[in-house]
Amino acid sequence: MRSKAVWGYTDQFMEACREELSVSREQLLDSAHEYLVAERHGEVLGFCGLEYLSPESCELAAMFVEPAHIGTGVGTALITRAKADAAAAGARTLIIQGDPNAVEFYRAAGGVPAGTRESGSIPGRFLPLFRISLEHESPAQ
């Protein structure tokens, strides 16, 4: 929530998004989901999640970086590892529903605009979608 709030959203907006932005115990245990955590000396710097939709497609289910570490390369390291893990699992496409404030980040990561999707939290709010081809990604190490 701290990562999303950095964009200046109101408390009311953040509360409306709380459930959609939270990761459940079931998601953590579900084999269709994979979560990656960036940490340094035991401090969590950020995390991201992948949801495998089919043998060839996955979606970035979460991408959050602690506000103090935004712009330091943590997000880039997470998305790079997520792309490599997804490719290693056989996915050919990574789908991303991004925050409008993160458009440049996802484009820099190789995201190609692919339309919009209605927010699961805020009816009538449409979020940008991106697709990244994983066909040339190196497998994770």
More confident residue, 71 or 7: 71
If residue 106 lies in a helix (H) or strand (E), which one and from where to where?
A: helix 103-108
pTM reported for the whole predicted model: 0.86
**pLDDT value of residue 29:** 86
Q: Look at residue 103 and tell me if it is in a domain.
A: yes
Contact (CB, 8 A) for 4 and 17: yes
Per-residue pLDDT, 60: 97
What strands lie across the sheet with 57-65, from one edge to the other? 33-40, 43-54, 57-65, 93-97, 126-133, 112-118
Lowest mean pLDDT of 14-23, 108-117, 125-134, name the range.
Answer: 14-23
> What CATH number does residue 62 fall under?
3.40.630.30
Domain total for the chain? 1
Higher pLDDT, 138 or 102: 102
The answer to whether residue 139 is domain-embedded is no
